[in-house]
């Protein structure tokens, strides 16, 4: 009844999200859902007119259910038609042409050896014909003087040598294909010099162009006044959301202490700005005739902040929520925060249904939901009349509330949990308010009176140095965080079901209602036991690394890796290829990695035996690592699998085939 009266949009949001999710699993039902949508719409309209004349409870129920399925169908159809690859006009579905006219639709980003940007396809053509098309791609221009002058909105002609973005080739590796698909991008290409030419035309959307121009000007101002790159990176991230100069070590420290959210412009930043503008305008004490003007002034400031941050989902969501509350107050309507949250989510999903898969989107909404629901319960648990203690209790309550709602996502996506998040947030969040306020005035004075901007930059630097030192110190505290934790998607759902059911039980105080939380715990432990105890599992895992070799021999919960020199000596290979596999397979504390050269020695290693001629014995089968074949092979060999790593030339293949007989060749 409460949902029916106070959160009516939740009944629309849930089936709408259901339609989006169904579209991702069954993307070829658009015709059926289009027909269903038309039938349901006709029935709902007819039923509505009938019910206006005569009340019929059964018909009312049927119309209500039809309306829910109508919204479900709408979610499916919007998701389908907002996915560019489904269109027959997508460039990948047209006849291949030599050239393409594309428009740069993102601010070009400078990489060590390239200039990266998203482009929108406008047309394909060759010597015989021209075809209009749609679709986006990720292009990497080889860095030179021309590519570094590319700007958002530029129209250029490129050779149409485009390739689909590949799925991950190694187990549990980051899925760039899925990441770019959520942005409507399915193809990429490396563009060499002389394979593209500028049309000397710029057709930029004025809103996004203004956003990128402002960001570029702000980068120049920050670079002039903040000489320390680490401090400048944090200042830029906090004030206007630019993360290009963040130091990796500092970023890791903020993540492990549970304060990473302060480096991503979000609802926290919007709330701080709203408080400042409302205070300066005296919004709460305004007379009736001035409320409208001040309300629209606040809305304009929030829009400008969205513009500066590039309309990030979290800022857009928070601005929508504040805007709805302001307009409700202006029209003297009572607003429900949950209904407002549903409206913001609905708007953002209609604009881009793929937002539902965006990790930031998920964290943002769940954090707000947790804060709104749990905050007051924790505040009431620690009542105090002391002003300072009250602020500490409020801040602690907000931190705990947000953590309850988001920690399962943190475990699932990032495999870590910050144990000291309350202490780090008590230190960092008050400082963030000061940094953001000082940052706003720094931006203003940097254009009108630089000496004051310089003083503000020193103040900001001091606070950033303080919070950075604090989080780096907290990070070093024993057991400050748990890392390398893996939970499955099913366990993620069980954790959330446990939280929801336990919350319901505590609020309703029903002594028989703890069955569901207990059942969740039992199912979670059973699932965990099944994952941990994979007895009898023996397998060989091959990793695809260009010009290198990495192979793992696994037995139960132990694994031994043999790696070529390039893999063995490069730390990045461990972080981006090996670590995801080890964490997701729960082997992070029980693995060994050895250089491939050990196959030259006769030895009984953990899990495998080497015979000194490159051959390896594992699970009653023989394997041959061929990278050093010419060093020791004199007679022909017969093995189960031939593993080829660094040397992959045709001549090498021919040489191997003459002396090695193998049931399978792995390269």
| pLDDT band at 38; cut points 50, 70, 90 | very high
Tell me the average pLDDT across 166-195: 89
User: Residue 298 to residues 180, 293, 301: CA-CA distances in angstroms?
Assistant: 35, 9, 5
Instruction: Dihedral sign for Cα 657, 661, 665, 666, please.
Output: negative
Instruction: Please report how many Cα atoms fall inside a 13 Å half-sphere around the Cα of residue 437, on the Cβ side.
Output: 15
Asked if residue 447 has pLDDT above 60, the reply is yes
pLDDT for the residue 336: 77
pLDDT for the residue 320: 78
Asked if residue 3 has pLDDT above 90, the reply is no
pLDDT for the residue 9: 86
Asked if residue 199 has pLDDT above 60, the reply is yes
User: Residue 497 to residues 237, 341, 372, 520, 592: CA-CA distances in angstroms?
Assistant: 34, 21, 19, 7, 37
pLDDT for the residue 190: 93
pLDDT for the residue 494: 94
pLDDT for the residue 138: 95
pLDDT for the residue 23: 92
pLDDT for the residue 2: 55
| pLDDT band at 442; cut points 50, 70, 90 | very high
- Least confident segment among 237-251, 346-360, 552-566: 237-251
Asked if residue 632 has pLDDT above 60, the reply is no
What confidence tens digit (pLDDT) does each residue in 110-125 have?
A: 888 899 999 999 999 8
| pLDDT band at 74; cut points 50, 70, 90 | very high
Asked if residue 647 has pLDDT above 80, the reply is no
pLDDT for the residue 355: 86
What confidence tens digit (pLDDT) does each residue in 285-298 have?
A: 666 667 778 888 88
Tell me the average pLDDT across 361-382: 82
Residue 125 CA to chain centroid, in angstroms? 36
Which residues 6+ apart lie within 8 Å of 441 measured at CB?
452, 456
Structure tokens at 476: 């070093």
What is the percent of the chain with per-residue pLDDT over 70, rounded to a whole number? Answer: 90
Asked if residue 412 has pLDDT above 70, the reply is yes
| pLDDT band at 576; cut points 50, 70, 90 | confident
Q: d(Cα 364, Cα 355) in Å, to the nearest integer?
A: 11
Q: d(Cα 329, Cα 347) in Å, to the nearest integer?
A: 21
Q: If you count them, how many residues does the chain have?
A: 667
User: Residue 587 to residues 493, 579, 595: CA-CA distances in angstroms?
Assistant: 23, 9, 19
Q: Which residue has the tokens 């998203």?
A: 118
Asked if residue 6 has pLDDT above 80, the reply is no
**DSSP bridge partners of 202:** 154
| pLDDT band at 133; cut points 50, 70, 90 | very high
- Least confident segment among 95-109, 114-128, 645-659: 645-659
- Least confident segment among 391-395, 427-431, 453-457: 391-395
Q: d(Cα 79, Cα 16) in Å, to the nearest integer?
A: 10
Asked if residue 56 has pLDDT above 80, the reply is no
pLDDT for the residue 139: 94
Q: What is the CATH number of domain 91-204?
A: 2.40.50
What confidence tens digit (pLDDT) does each residue in 461-475 have?
A: 999 999 888 888 888
pLDDT for the residue 666: 62
Q: d(Cα 310, Cα 210) in Å, to the nearest integer?
A: 10
What is the percent of the chain with per-residue pLDDT over 90, rounded to a whole number? Answer: 20
Contact call for residues 258 and 421 (beta carbons, < 8 A): yes
What confidence tens digit (pLDDT) does each residue in 517-530 have?
A: 899 999 999 988 88
DSSP run (H or E) holding 127: none
User: Residue 164 to residues 82, 177, 330, 355, 357: CA-CA distances in angstroms?
Assistant: 19, 9, 50, 22, 21
Q: Phi first, then psi: give them for residue 134, nearest 5 degrees.
A: -130, 175
Which among 45, 44, 33, 28 has a CA at the least distance from the CA of 72?
33
pLDDT for the residue 628: 54
pLDDT for the residue 255: 81
Please tell me which residue, 327 or 165, carries the higher pLDDT value: 165
Q: d(Cα 341, Cα 10) in Å, to the nearest integer?
A: 9
Contact call for residues 397 and 425 (beta carbons, < 8 A): no
Q: d(Cα 268, Cα 368) in Å, to the nearest integer?
A: 10
DSSP run (H or E) holding 567: helix 565-569
What is the residue extent of each domain of the chain? 2-81, 91-204, 211-355+419-483, 358-418, 489-532, 542-666
pLDDT for the residue 635: 59
Tell me the average pLDDT across 625-651: 61
Please tell me which residue, 283 or 609, carries the higher pLDDT value: 609
pLDDT for the residue 79: 94
Q: d(Cα 195, Cα 131) in Å, to the nearest integer?
A: 20
Asked if residue 642 has pLDDT above 70, the reply is no
What's the order of all strands across the beta sheet hosting 538-543?
538-543, 550-555, 558-563, 591-595
Contact call for residues 92 and 135 (beta carbons, < 8 A): yes
Q: d(Cα 473, Cα 446) in Å, to the nearest integer?
A: 33
Residue 499 CA to chain centroid, in angstroms? 23
Contact call for residues 82 and 74 (beta carbons, < 8 A): no
Asked if residue 225 has pLDDT above 80, the reply is yes
38 secondary structure, DSSP code: H
Tell me the average pLDDT across 202-229: 88
pLDDT for the residue 306: 84
pLDDT for the residue 71: 94
pLDDT for the residue 634: 54
Asked if residue 645 has pLDDT above 70, the reply is no
pLDDT for the residue 287: 64
147 secondary structure, DSSP code: G
């Amino acid at each position: 009844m409460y949902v029916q009266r106070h959160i009516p949009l939740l009944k629309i949001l849930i089936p709408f999200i259901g339609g989006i999710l169904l579209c991702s699993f069954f993307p070829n039902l658009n015709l059926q859902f289009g027909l269903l949508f038309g039938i349901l719409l006709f029935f709902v309209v007819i039923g509505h007119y009938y019910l206006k004349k005569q009340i019929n409870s059964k018909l009312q129920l049927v119309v209500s259910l039809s309306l829910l399925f109508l919204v479900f169908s709408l979610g499916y159809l919007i998701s389908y038609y907002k996915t560019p690859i489904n269109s027959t006009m997508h460039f990948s579905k047209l006849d291949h042409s030599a050239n393409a006219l594309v428009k740069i639709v993102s601010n070009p980003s400078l990489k060590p050896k390239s200039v990266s940007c998203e482009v929108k396809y406008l047309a394909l053509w060759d010597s015989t014909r021209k075809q209009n098309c749609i679709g986006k791609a990720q292009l990497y221009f080889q860095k030179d003087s021309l590519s570094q002058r590319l700007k958002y909105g530029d129209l250029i002609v490129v050779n149409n040598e485009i390739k689909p973005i590949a799925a991950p080739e190694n187990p549990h590796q980051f899925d760039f294909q899925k990441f770019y698909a959520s942005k409507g991008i399915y193809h990429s290409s490396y563009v060499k010099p002389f394979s593209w030419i500028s049309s000397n035309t710029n057709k930029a959307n004025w809103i996004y162009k203004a956003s990128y121009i402002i960001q570029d000007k702000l980068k120049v101002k920050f670079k002039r006044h903040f000489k320390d790159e680490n401090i400048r990176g944090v200042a830029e991230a906090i004030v206007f959301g630019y993360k290009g100069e963040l130091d990796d070590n500092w970023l890791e420290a903020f993540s492990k202490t549970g304060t990473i959210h302060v480096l991503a412009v979000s609802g926290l930043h919007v709330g701080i700005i709203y408080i400042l503008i409302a205070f300066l305008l005296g919004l709460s004490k305004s007379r009736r005739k001035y409320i409208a003007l001040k309300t629209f002034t606040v809305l304009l400031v929030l829009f400008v902040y969205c513009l500066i941050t590039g309309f990030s989902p979290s800022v857009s969501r928070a601005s929508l929520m504040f805007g709805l509350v302001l307009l409700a107050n202006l029209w003297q309507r009572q607003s429900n925060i949950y209904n407002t949250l549903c409206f913001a989510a609905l708007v953002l999903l209609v604009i881009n249904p793929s937002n539902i898969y965006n990790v930031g989107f998920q964290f943002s909404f769940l954090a707000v939901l947790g804060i709104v629901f749990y905050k007051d319960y924790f505040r009431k648990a620690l009542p105090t009349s002391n002003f300072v203690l009250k602020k500490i209790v409020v801040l602690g309550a907000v931190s705990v509330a947000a953590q309850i709602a988001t920690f399962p996502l943190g475990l699932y996506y990032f495999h870590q949990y910050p144990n000291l998040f309350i202490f780090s947030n008590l230190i960092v969040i008050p400082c963030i308010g000061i940094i953001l306020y000082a940052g706003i005035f720094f931006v203003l004075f940097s254009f009108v009176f630089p000496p004051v901007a310089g003083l503000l930059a020193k103040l900001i630097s001091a606070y950033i140095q303080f919070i950075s030192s604090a989080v780096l110190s907290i990070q070093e505290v024993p057991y400050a965080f748990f890392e390398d934790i893996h939970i499955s998607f099913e366990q993620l759902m069980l954790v959330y079901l446990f939280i929801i059911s336990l919350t319901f039980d505590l609020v309703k105080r029903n002594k028989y209602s703890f069955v569901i939380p207990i059942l969740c715990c039992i199912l979670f432990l059973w699932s965990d036991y099944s994952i941990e105890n994979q007895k009898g599992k023996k397998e060989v895992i091959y990793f695809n690394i260009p010009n290198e070799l990495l192979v793992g021999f696994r037995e139960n919960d132990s694994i031994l890796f043999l790696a070529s020199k390039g893999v063995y000596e490069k730390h990045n290979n461990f972080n981006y290829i090996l670590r995801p596999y080890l964490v997701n397979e729960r082997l992070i504390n029980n693995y060994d990695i050895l250089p491939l050269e050990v196959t030259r020695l006769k030895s009984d290693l953990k899990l495998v035996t080497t015979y000194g001629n490159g051959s390896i014995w594992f699970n009653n089968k023989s394997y041959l690592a061929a990278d050093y074949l010419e060093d020791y092979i004199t007679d022909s060999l017969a093995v189960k699998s031939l593993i080829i790593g660094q040397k992959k030339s045709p001549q090498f293949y021919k040489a191997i085939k003459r002396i090695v007989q193998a049931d399978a060749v792995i390269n």
